[in-house]
Amino acid sequence: MAGRLRDGGYELVADPSRADLLILNTCGFIRPAREEADEGIRAALAEKDRRPGVRVIVTGCYAEKEGAVLPDRYPAVDVWLGVKDYDRVAAAAEGRMFRPGQRTYLYDHRTPRLISTPPGWAYLKVSEGCSHACAFCAIPSIKGPYRSRSVSSIVAEADNLAGRGVKELVLISQDTTSYGRDLGPRSGLPHLLRQLLLRTPLPWIRFLYGYPEEIGDELLETMSDPRVCPYFDIPFQHASALILRRMKRATGGRRALRLLEKIRKRLPEASLRTSLIVGFPGEGPREFRELCDFVREAGFDHLGVFAYCREEGTAAAASGDPVPAGEKERRRNVLMEIQAGLSAEKLKAFRGRTLDVIKDGPRPEARGLLVARTRFQAPEVDGAVFIRPTDRPWKSPLGRVRIVSSGTYDLRGILTS
């Protein structure tokens, strides 16, 4: 959207009070996200009240999911665009008529784009939609079935990003390990990674969000290339066989542990991240203990824990939401406390080592320190490396840092080159 608006003659500004056009790209996945979107819409409309010439456009999954009711709730919003019409944003901004899209919009290498991440790294979306049927998830009903971009389109965009100075490419989608399944038997993620390695100069390639059932020998072999970050973001969601059946997920705790063992055997430097849900209907004390034991035994490098949110239209909605919110939060805190101890112990092993890092831009909590990441830290979700400022210039987004100390989730170091 930013690229199309730029090509349409618009200038992006960081301060909403200076903008003639306010665009909110919303999430509709779970209730807290929709509440955040509501707050943003109200703030935009308050700005419009102060400056009546301002136009407000609301886009994204919330606009798609609740498109039948939101215009009545917020009549002052000028335009509503769901997930099918991102490419019509310039026409919408100018009040021009356009033919609505028929399926979720998926951009390609010809789409104008602005890079909103720090200059050293960028996301690249390889697909849109999801064809899984997880009982808790509304994404397929919002975005439709899985649809992959072509390998040639992805490689062309990746090469263009490399030409613009990007050193780390982060491949993303709702399920990146399903990439290419709809294109044919020889067009999967391993093939895509090999093409990126062959046809682009990118020194770091990372992918996020992979289903455990689709991490096989071919993918592990491809990831042995040193330019592919040995980083696995695998959302197991739970470990209890009972809960996983209710979630309509296939990989149980024992099977998950065997997969982690296989990954670590093939790629000893592998970093492992997962996401878990607590408070799913049917999760009692026994199931939660299973989950705690799983986290201790798995020894993840990174962990995210989310409280279950009941979503109308999903298979799990009929089971209600029997676990109280306070108990969900308690269980989340227990898991994060376990993970904190595991993470702190793992990071001690990096003291004294010299690691490759990439600049990650300023952060308020850095307090004058430089912020970077290693190959085992993904942007925006994991810890970081905080670097003491020195007289040594840091000209490239990539560098090397000697680690001098570690905390619970972060490292500290000194730039060496």
Q: What is the dihedral of CA 105, 103, 176, 188, to 10 degrees?
A: -110
**Which range marks the domain in which residue 362 is found?**
354-415
What is the pLDDT, as a whole number, of residue 417? 82
CATH number (domain holding residue 371)? 2.40.50.140
Is 368 a residue whose pLDDT tops 90?
no
Answer yes or no: is 61 within a domain.
yes
| 316 and 336 belong to one structural domain | yes
Answer yes or no: is 318 within a domain.
yes
CATH number (domain holding residue 16)? 3.40.50.12160
CATH number (domain holding residue 283)? 3.80.30.20
What is the pLDDT, as a whole number, of residue 367? 77
Is 33 a residue whose pLDDT tops 90?
yes
**Whether 167 contacts 397, CB under 8 Å:** yes
**Whether 412 contacts 386, CB under 8 Å:** yes
Residue-wise pLDDT for 235-256, tens only, equals 999 999 999 999 999 888 899 9
Answer yes or no: is 13 within a domain.
yes
- Give the position of tokens 């996020």: 208
| 141 and 82 belong to one structural domain | no
Of all residues in the chain, the percent with pLDDT exceeding 90 is 88
Answer yes or no: is 159 within a domain.
yes
Q: Which residue, 295, 318, 348, sits at the end of a domain?
A: 348
Tokens of 33: 């996200």
Which whole number is the average pLDDT over 118-138?
94
Answer yes or no: is 104 within a domain.
no
Q: Which residue, 348, 372, 404, sits at the end of a domain?
A: 348
- Give the position of tokens 């996301």: 123
Phi/psi class of residue 102: alpha, beta or left (left: φ > 0; alpha: ψ in -120 to 50)? Answer: alpha
Strands (E), 4-154: 21-26, 55-60, 79-81, 121-125, 127-128, 147-148
Answer yes or no: is 244 within a domain.
yes
| 209 and 301 belong to one structural domain | yes
What is the pLDDT, as a whole number, of residue 185? 76
What is the pLDDT, as a whole number, of residue 321? 95
| 321 and 373 belong to one structural domain | no
> What average pLDDT does the chain have?
94
Q: How many domains does the chain have?
A: 3
What is the pLDDT, as a whole number, of residue 374? 97
| 217 and 260 belong to one structural domain | yes
Residue-wise pLDDT for 179-237, tens only, equals 999 998 778 999 999 999 999 999 999 999 999 999 999 999 999 999 999 999 999 99
Of all residues in the chain, the percent with pLDDT exceeding 70 is 100
